[in-house]
Structure 1
Amino acid sequence: MWPGVLPGLPPVHSYACSAAVPQVPGEPAEAARLRARMADIVIVKGWAPSARVQAALRHVPRHRFVPEAPLETAYHDDLAVMTVRKSPQTALSSVSAAWLQADMIEQLRLEPGMTVLEVGSGGYNGELLAHVLGPRGRVVTVDVDPYVVHRTQRLCAEAGSGRVTAVLGDGGLGAPGHVPARGFEGVMITHNASDIAPAWREQLAEGARLVVPLEMGGFTRSLTLVRRGDVLRCEHWTYCGFVRDRGAAARTAPAVPLADGEVTVRWEDGEPGDTSGLEEALRGPRHELTTGLVVRGIFNFETLQVYAATTLPGFCRLAAPAGSTLVEQQDAAAMLSDGSLAYLTYRKVKDAPDPADRLTEFFIHAYGPAADALAERFADCVRTWDQKVRESGYPPMTVHPAGTPDEQLPVGDVLDKPSARLVFQWPGRVPDGTQDLLAAGGQRA
């Protein structure tokens, strides 16, 4: 719109399009075959155990919501399809992998006729939700990008159910004009969130579920949170990754480049640490300490990442370009204290033709005057995780409003966000029986 013709309109956004995509008058037989194959794979892998989610995967034409992609790409079970790009390397909007969409929808435990909020639009996920909710159900999907909202409206009109309402707005505020009397009966966030927006809890019905890909120390996990008053209780974790939030709550992690940019330290949560003295420390000797943890084959240490991020004082992330002469890891969990830096790395100690026979040992590398102490502290974290956490999985966790006093929080490790306080009850770090108390809904006296 020309400025001044219609007052009060939002600014126009435009994006380069790869091609003009005509409407599809019918469905190619190949699309039906590929959709059935995709659904079969997702179901066999256990991501869609319920009949309604299975039917949604088999029914909703995914290719109609990603017309930019070839059919093979559209119906790949393990690929996200980029729909809006800031650059060839950076996506602003995407349609997530089918297995992840199925898992997150399953976690909502939806029933026919419910009303659900989706934050982050695209069309396909909203239509999956609508199919699960049935003819009397409703989906409200919110996105901050006018182009994405318009695209979603067009694609849902062409290939949708008529039960998805796409709204332009900051998803961090929820959908204030569309909240049912008792609240949404499910809220699903489809972008990486650095915080738990108060509106998501406030607009969620009591006992309903919020599924959100939350960043903790920069490591993203999809959390299933159940509302119990002002507290959200976590009942499920899934390893995942999404595009970043672009709303008002979006956070750029503070970062400090060191050694002429060869090493960068960043803080995904909390305030930046003191990096004075690190320039000189990184040019000095490196202290190496084995953790004693030797693992075989392809090893899953996703809980170790979150454990370190939520229990180590001074936790940060360290990045280095490929081929760095100072740091062996391009992206590593790290900690900073007393003018010193330590990070977690690993090295292959036994190679073998079969990956299952290879052995890998975890090490701590540290720099600075307190390198020895820092390395020992980090190594102890890894050993404790190996002995007490590794086999037990993710811990009980609750989310409390930001203003909650310490004495009203359960016993556990606290990770503070701008709008929320997360309490983790890792095995070995809380008194016996406390985890059972938290699971039952109790709090510290």
Structure 2
Amino acid sequence: MTTVRNSEDFSPALRAAMVGELRELGAITSAPVAEAVSKVPRHLFVPGQPLEAAYAIDQALVIKRDEAGTALSSLSSAHIQSVMLEQADVQPGMQVLEIGSGGYNAALLAELVGEEGAVVSLDIDPEITERARACLDTAGYEQVKVAVGDAEHGLPDEDAFDRIIVTAGAWDIPPAWRTQLTPRGRLIVPLRLKGITRTIAFERDDQTDDGGDAGVLTSVSYLLSGFVAMQGDGEHHEHVIVVGDDESWGLRVDDGAPDFDVQALREALDHPPLERWSGAVFDMPDELELFLVTSGPQMVMLHARQSLVDQGVFDASAGRGVPVLVRGDSFAYRIKRENAELGGFESGVIAHGPHAEQVADEYADLLRRWAHQHRRRGAATIRYIPAGAAHSTPPHHPIPKRHGTVSVTWR
């Protein structure tokens, strides 16, 4: 394999190739985003990295780690950045707030808003903002404003923004983001829901069921994503209920999950596994995963160590993380197998415990319901309902947050 030297002579060709790849994958769908990605020299925002790494479409590059080696800041992959820009639909002349400063994404936004627009990039870490400022200046984007502050509180000295784009994993949507959004504005945020993350493009939907103004946000699109977690007052640590010995397996419960009988679940694994096949096609795993985890409070994420997968204690899906349905002393999770009649794969269930039959049947019914009624992109509508909002129709299976509630409905 030929290695490209770290020379700017190669960067225009690499940018053009990157845009071509992103177009083929559907990450770039509009001419303005393609033009912005073609112009901004991505390698200047990761000095010291080889050009191949800077222009790899699916590679996130860590900017800063803590003492334990955990990433605190990173330059997201070109793929996810392009998709988020398409979600944002940034227009010339807009005022844009970026939360999380790497520099490169702010430069792309500056290209999209043009000379009449404005971009502010906000980060809680002065070291990151200083670095972003230096990279932006080197690349010729002095017009981008870089600010230090806790994103939980927004930018109170600034006017409202047409777009707020969050480039860090958020567990909640603070009131400041809603209040600083213009009436026709759009918020793009990687939001964690029950142990998974989806980047959601929200718009205001201020007309409640009772005709009032509640500041409700309704999704216009969403996609699978993963980001470095938010720091500061909006920080939220994930909660893992350890079930197996030596933390070998457990349940990830981010959003007010009910108490589980850990001892009963540990004993459930001693029961022989019950395997059941749904007859439903398995595809679009990210859409299916979202459907499953939002189907009720007893559905959370199961994670098992690879050693247990290798021993045959759990299916491979548990090693990657899979929605698990817990009913008292029994639980069930999703598996898959090849099925030529379905043209690919079939979804199924493995259940453990004294009531494995019942929980397997319930899970299989969910798999069939998704396959028959909701098997398509964008079938979910995600709403964020601020605390105190009055709605005559309560959210179905609400996901509680600090400042409000998330509701997911399926069309």
TM-score between both structures, scaled by the size of structure 1 = 0.81
**Given residue 297 of structure 2, which amino acid in structure 1 is its aligned partner?**
P
Structure 1 segments (4+ residues) deviating >6 Å: none
Are residues 1:95 and 2:75 paired? yes
Deviations 1:16-51 (A, max 9, x none): xxxxxxxx9xx7211122112212322344433333
- State the match for 2:128 in structure 1: 148
Separation (CA, whole Å) in 2 of partners of 1:67 and 1:370: 57
Are residues 1:59 and 2:45 paired? no
Distance 1:40 1:380, change over 3 A: same
Matches within 5 A, 1:104-143: 104-143=84-123
Separation (CA, whole Å) in 2 of partners of 1:73 and 1:88: 24
- Structure number having the greater helix percentage: 2
- State the match for 1:425 in structure 2: 409
Q: Percent identity?
A: 33
Q: Following TM superposition, by how much is the alpha carbon of 1:203 offset from its aligned partner in structure 2, in angstroms? A: 0.7
Unmatched 5+ residue regions in structure 1? Answer: 1-23, 351-355, 428-445
Decide whether the 8 Å contact of 1:217 with 1:306 is kept in 2: no
Q: Following TM superposition, by how much is the alpha carbon of 1:357 offset from its aligned partner in structure 2, in angstroms? A: 10
Deviations 1:133-177 (A, max 9, x none): 112221111112222111111111222321211111111222222
Match of 2:328 among 329, 332, 338: 338
Matches within 5 A, 1:384-395: 384-391=369-376, 393-395=378-380
Decide whether the 8 Å contact of 1:268 with 1:317 is kept in 2: no
Match of 1:273 among 244, 248, 259: 259
| Residue range with higher mean Cα deviation, 313-322 or 39-48 | 39-48
SS of the counterpart of 1:122?
Answer: coil
Distance 1:381 1:242, change over 3 A: same
Match of 2:55 among 75, 79, 103: 75
Matches within 5 A, 1:283-432: 283-295=270-282, 299-324=283-308, 325=311, 326-328=313-315, 329-330=318-319, 331-348=321-338, 359-391=344-376, 393-405=378-390, 407=392, 409=394, 412-427=396-411
Match of 1:47 among 5, 21, 27: 27
Separation (CA, whole Å) in 1 of partners of 2:156 and 2:383: 25
TM-score between both structures, scaled by the size of structure 2 = 0.88
Unmatched 5+ residue regions in structure 2? Answer: 1-5, 207-214
Distance 1:103 1:306, change over 3 A: same
Matches within 5 A, 1:198-217: 198-217=175-194
- State the match for 1:254 in structure 2: 239
Q: Following TM superposition, by how much is the alpha carbon of 1:88 offset from its aligned partner in structure 2, in angstroms? A: 8.8
Separation (CA, whole Å) in 2 of partners of 1:50 and 1:286: 49
Q: CA RMSD in A?
A: 2.4
SS of the counterpart of 1:191?
Answer: coil
Separation (CA, whole Å) in 1 of partners of 2:265 and 2:149: 43
Distance 1:347 1:50, change over 3 A: closer
Match of 2:66 among 82, 86, 94: 86
Separation (CA, whole Å) in 1 of partners of 2:23 and 2:336: 35
SS of the counterpart of 2:97?
Answer: strand
SS of the counterpart of 1:208?
Answer: strand
Decide whether the 8 Å contact of 1:191 with 1:243 is kept in 2: yes
Decide whether the 8 Å contact of 1:207 with 1:228 is kept in 2: no
From the CA coordinates, give the structure whose radius of gyration is larger.
1
